[in-house]
Amino acid sequence: MVQYQNKVHEIDQLKKEIDALGPLSKKTLNELKEYYRIGLTYTSNALEGNSLTEGA
C-alpha cells in the first residue's frame, strides 16, 4: 500500500511540474495530435492487420 501511495504522490508532483509549464501552443498541440494519430493507426494495423496496398 505504501508503494501505491508513493506512486500517487510522484504522479501528483509530475502533474504540478507539467501544469507550471503553461498551456501548449496550437502548433505543438497539432503536432502531438498528429504523432498519436499516426502511432495509434500503426499500432492498430500491427494488431489487426489490414488489406491496404501501396498505390502507384
pLDDT digits (tens, 9 = 90+) for 11-53: 999 999 999 999 989 999 999 999 988 888 878 777 777 666 6
Q: Are 53 and 45 contacting, i.e. CB atoms less than 8 angstroms apart?
A: no
- Provide the residue range defining the domain that includes 44: 23-48
**Residues contacting residue 32 through CB under 8 Å, at least 6 positions apart:** 24
Helices (H), the chain: 2-20, 26-48
5 belongs to a structural domain: no
8-state DSSP, 21 = T
Q: Would residue 36 count as lying in a domain?
A: yes
Task: Supply the pLDDT for residue 42.
Answer: 79
Indicate whether 15 belongs to any domain. no
| Cβ-based neighbours of 31, under 8 Å, separated by 6 or more | none
- 40 lies in a domain? yes
34 inside domain:
yes
* Residue 53 included in any domain: no
pTM: 0.47
What pLDDT does 54 receive? 59
Total domains, the chain:
1
